[in-house]
Structure 1
Amino acid sequence: MPYFLSLAVLAAVVFGFYRYATAAGRRRTAALAAGFPAAWRGLLAGHVAFYRVLGAAEKSRFEQRVQLFLADARITGVQTEVDELTRLLVAAAAVIPTFGFPEWAYAHLGEVLVVPDAWVLGPDSAQEMQPLQGTLLGSVQRFQNQHYMRLSKASLLQGFADPEDRQNVGIHEFAHLLDEADGVIDGVPQVELPPHLLGPWAATVHREMEALRAGESDIRPYAGTNEAEFFAVVTEYFFEKPDQLQAHHPELYALLTELFNQSPGARRDPSEFGPRSPCPCGSGKPYEDCHQATT
């Protein structure tokens, strides 16, 4: 092969590799440069309670995180349409548990498959961290070094439609991926939990699961399946009914605030307060002169 032709081939290979290696970064940059569509903002405000109670700066950060997730993720409908609302709810479910970690990305999420409704898992189906048989609303399955998530569209929509039922299949399944960041889905999210809290976490989980199995807990019974499901279920509880979790399980709530680096119980929907009501942040100022000004 002539020398100059060899150089041209090498240059083409290098350029092709460069384009491949920088594709994700270019997608992310383009997504943020496009701005956040007003229609998306309306859908989030109408369907995602977590988003509604954020201040202006946090809303903007949440929107950017949604854009970046959608730039990275493949979301595919299986016998159902994946419309804008469905895509946004998948993204919101991914962002909510990681909102306290500004640089978080689900590095090994291969694809999110959205199916119409619940499905029956047969005895020969290999689903990670799920019972061998039963009806499922969501699942995480590993293939090589990637994870594939399956979500019931009906359950995803219902989870956000009722933000206080302590159930959200999207948040539940993304909690499993957060748990898996240390390499295994075992209910001990070591990447997020400071080392000095690993002991208290294990002791608290053991005590709470014992109470649950004895019928002395308001945590959803499915949490008693194993430690991984316990973590995913209480993550739903933490973000949907933080005040109730804090009242009934104060030690567990305190550990989860450390783990997620956020305290959803401190946030309040502005519609709950009049303009001259004392601000719930404890500043002593009227609400309109404090937090209301930033929402």
Structure 2
Amino acid sequence: MIIYNFIFFVLMVFIGYAFYKKYSKAVKPFPKHWDQILIKEVEFYRQLSTSNQLRFQNRMMQFLSEIYIDSVEVELTELDEILIAASGVIPVFSFNDWHYTTLSSVIIYPNHFNEDFEFSHKSQSKRIAGVVGSGRLEGKMILSRKALHHGFKNDNDGRNTAIHEFVHLIDKMDDSVDGIPEILMKNPNVIPWLDLIHKEMKAISENDSKLRAYGATNQAEFFAVASEYFFESPERLQKNHPELYNAMSEKFKMK
């Protein structure tokens, strides 16, 4: 029953999104009080110059004009929207004209969920914090609210679920989630990047890395895990993995 309810909800989200796109294309002004919320909650924003903070604000509002955000069995809050938009802007902040063309909506769940998108107390193996959809969920991202907020509460653990999932979207823009984000790199750089990925994944497997173990799952997860670390703790990544830091800086144009 839960899975059928979810499918029905997805259909409602799709209808709502179509309506939203038809009638809400205008970019709304940035709410002034959001500035203090961002300063308090988002380290990346806090470290920006005043001019770049203004640019970040504009990018957020552009994002919110293009992506429909909804929630399941939990009331969507202002902070949810702010953190989702910030998560989408951070990885592509250095790219002036960026749009998530493969994303239509973000759906917030109250907590982690399982492979059947169940999150009730009765469901087992509730271990998924976020996912970029495929198949019937193509164009949708599902995030645990608990994981979304945790990603911005702890700036020292190198974890941020929402950024992780947006990096998967970036990786997917060449139609393949494989850890080789062609939109961020030139072809001659592919082989050195793959060599570095495999070296770093081996180090994780041998417990000789500061990156979390999930990064050794496959190339795509390595890229997303490394990106979390890069945007959450760039100084630590530079200290502990200088070669990887330089490669990430080049790809995300953060040099």
Gaps of 5+ in 2: 1-19, 118-124
Aligned length: 229
Corresponding residue number in structure 2 for 1:223 = 215
Shift in Å, 1:172: 0.4
Q: Does 1:70 align with 2:61?
A: no
| TM-score relative to the length of structure 2 | 0.85
Using the TM superposition, give the Cα deviation of residue 230 of structure 1 relative to its aligned residue in structure 2, in angstroms.
Answer: 0.4
Q: What CA distance in whole angstroms lies between the structure 2 residues aligned with 1:145 and 1:138?
A: 13
Which segments of 5 or more consecutive residues in structure 1 lack a partner in the other structure?
1-22, 126-132, 264-295
Instruction: Give, as a single letter, the amino acid of the residue that structure 1 aligns with 2:46.
Output: R
Cα separation, 2, equivalents of 1:110 and 1:25: 13
Partner of 2:86: 92
- Cα distance, 1:117 vs structure 2: 0.5
Code of the residue aligned with 2:197 in structure 1: it is V
* 1:65 to 1:252, Cα distance in 2 relative to 1, 3 A: same
Structure 2: distance between partners of 1:202 and 1:144: 31
> Secondary structure of the residue that 1:172 maps to in structure 2?
helix
Partner of 2:182: 190
Alpha-carbon offset, residue 168 of structure 1: 0.6
**Contact 1:108–1:145 (8 Å) recurs in 2:** no
Equivalent residue in structure 1 for 2:168, among 166, 176, 198: 176
Contact 2:230–2:245, Cα closer than 8 Å, also in 1 = yes
Q: Runs ≥4 in structure 1, deviation > 4 angstroms?
A: 23-28
**Cα 1:24/1:81, change in 2 over 3 Å:** closer
Contact in 2 for aligned 1:172/1:233 (Cα 8 Å): yes
1:60-88: CA deviation from partner (whole Å, max 9, x where unpaired):
11000000000011111101111111001
CA deviation string 1:189-229 (max 9, x = no partner): 01111222211100000100011111111110011111110
Q: Take 1:25 and 1:105, find their aligned partners in 2: how far apart are those partners?
A: 17
Partner of 2:242: 250
Q: Secondary structure at the match of 1:191?
A: helix
2:148–2:160 CA contact under 8 A, matched in 1: yes
Deviations along 1:62-119, one digit per CA (max 9) or x if unpaired, are 0000000000111111011111110010000000001111101000102111000111
How far off its partner does 1:178 sit? 0.5
Task: Name the stretch that deviates more: 166-175 or 190-199.
Answer: 190-199
Partner Cα separation in structure 1 for residue 183 and residue 22 of structure 2: 24
Q: Please say if 1:165 is aligned against 2:157.
A: yes
CA RMSD of aligned residues (A): 1.9
* TM-score normalised to structure 1 length: 0.74
Query: Of 37, 43, 52, which aligns to 2:37?
Result: 43
Which of 117, 120, 130 aligns to 2:114? It is 120
Cα distance per residue 1:224-246 (max 9 Å; x no partner): 11111001000000011111111
1:184, distance to aligned residue in structure 2 (A): 0.8
**Could you tell me whether the CA contact under 8 Å between 2:112 and 2:126 is conserved in 1?**
no
User: Could you say if the C-alpha distance between residues 169 and 181 of structure 1 is closer, same or farther in structure 2, counting changes exceeding 3 Å?
Assistant: same
Once the two structures are superposed, residues 29-73 of structure 1 have per-residue CA deviations (whole angstroms, 9 ceiling, x without a partner) of x32xx5321111121111111001100111111000000000011
The answer to whether the Cα contact below 8 Å between 1:194 and 1:259 also exists between their aligned partners in 2 is no
Question: Does 2:50 align with 1:56?
Answer: yes
Please give the alpha-carbon distance, in whole angstroms, between the structure 2 residues aligned to 1:82 and 1:26: 20
CA gap of 1:118–1:24, structure 2 versus 1, over 3 A, is closer
Tell me if the contact between 2:111 and 2:147 (Cα under 8 Å) persists in the aligned partners.
Answer: yes
Give the % identical residues.
38
